[in-house]
């Protein structure tokens, strides 16, 4: 997949990202359309302010909004946008985020995993998510993470294949908790040790 790159979101990428949101896609696979609309409003109001918390290794950005509407503190995190260098018209592929705790402690219960990713529907089934997850692993190691927790919905077989292709091992089925409506989930671990 020579054309795939992970790019740090910048002003030059914003128009294609907003176009994907306008087409109904959202990186927030839980809140979906509501999250997309919120992001479009934030982009329209202040593009630099929208971009700033996407690279937040100190976790100083605004709180995150959970599916139940509750807000919790933001963890140290970074986001990369998947970019198709071979497609000049629709280069934006999707988004992948990495989050961690500043002190190396386990993730708090409201954070389901270290990594979250979403590919736009019109670019799925081409291996982009698998390659993007592989490309984020060195960034996770650079943050001192020895393993990654990645979660999926039980019926999301495509995401489970992405995780397995990157060395992920199924650990358990679990309850996502009250903020997520007690929805079921599957938890995987990816060992980052050499």
Task: Tell me what pLDDT residue 32 has.
Answer: 85
Structural domains of the chain, count: 1
Task: Tell me what pLDDT residue 104 has.
Answer: 84
Q: Taking the model in full, what pTM does it have?
A: 0.92
Task: Tell me what pLDDT residue 148 has.
Answer: 97
Q: Which CATH number do you get for residue 65?
A: 3.40.630.30
Task: Tell me what pLDDT residue 65 has.
Answer: 85
Task: Tell me what pLDDT residue 2 has.
Answer: 54
Distance CA(5)–CA(3), nearest Å, equals 7
The percent of residues in the chain predicted with pLDDT above 70, rounded, is 98
Q: Spell out the long-range contacts of 52-57 with Cβ–Cβ below 8 A and sequence spacing 24 or more.
A: 54/8, 54/9, 54/78, 54/79, 55/8, 55/9, 55/79, 57/143
Backbone angles phi, psi at 181, to 5 degrees: 65, 25
Residue of 61, 67, 163, 69 lying closest to 114 (CA atoms): 163
Residues in the chain with pLDDT values less than 70: 1-2
Alpha helices, DSSP H only, in 23-148?
A: 32-45, 47-51, 128-142
Do the beta carbons of residue 185 and residue 152 sit within 8 Å?
Answer: yes
Residue range 113-143, pLDDT digits in tens = 999 999 999 999 999 999 999 999 999 999 9
Residue range 155-170, pLDDT digits in tens = 999 999 999 999 999 9
Expressed as residue numbers, the domain containing 118 is 4-191
Distance CA(87)–CA(124), nearest Å, equals 14
């Amino acid at each position: 997949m020579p054309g795939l790159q992970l790019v740090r979101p910048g002003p030059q990428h914003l128009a294609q990202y907003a176009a994907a949101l306008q087409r109904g896609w959202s990186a927030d696979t839980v809140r979906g359309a509501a999250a997309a609309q919120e992001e479009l409003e934030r982009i329209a109001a202040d593009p630099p302010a929208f971009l700033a918390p996407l690279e937040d290794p100190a976790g100083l950005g605004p709180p995150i909004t959970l599916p139940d509407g509750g807000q919790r503190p933001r963890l140290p995190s970074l986001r990369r946008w998947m970019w198709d260098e071979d497609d000049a018209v629709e280069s934006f592929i999707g988004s992948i985020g990495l989050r961690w705790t500043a002190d190396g402690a386990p993730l708090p219960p409201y954070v389901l995993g270290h990594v979250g990713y979403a590919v736009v529907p019109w670019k799925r089934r081409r291996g982009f998510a698998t390659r993007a997850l592989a490309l984020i692993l060195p960034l996770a190691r650079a943050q001192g993470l020895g393993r990654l927790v990645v979660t999926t919905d039980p019926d999301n077989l495509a995401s489970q294949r992405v995780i397995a292709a990157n060395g992920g091992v199924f650990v358990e089925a679990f309850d996502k908790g009250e903020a997520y409506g007690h929805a079921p989930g599957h938890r995987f671990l990816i060992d980052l040790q050499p």
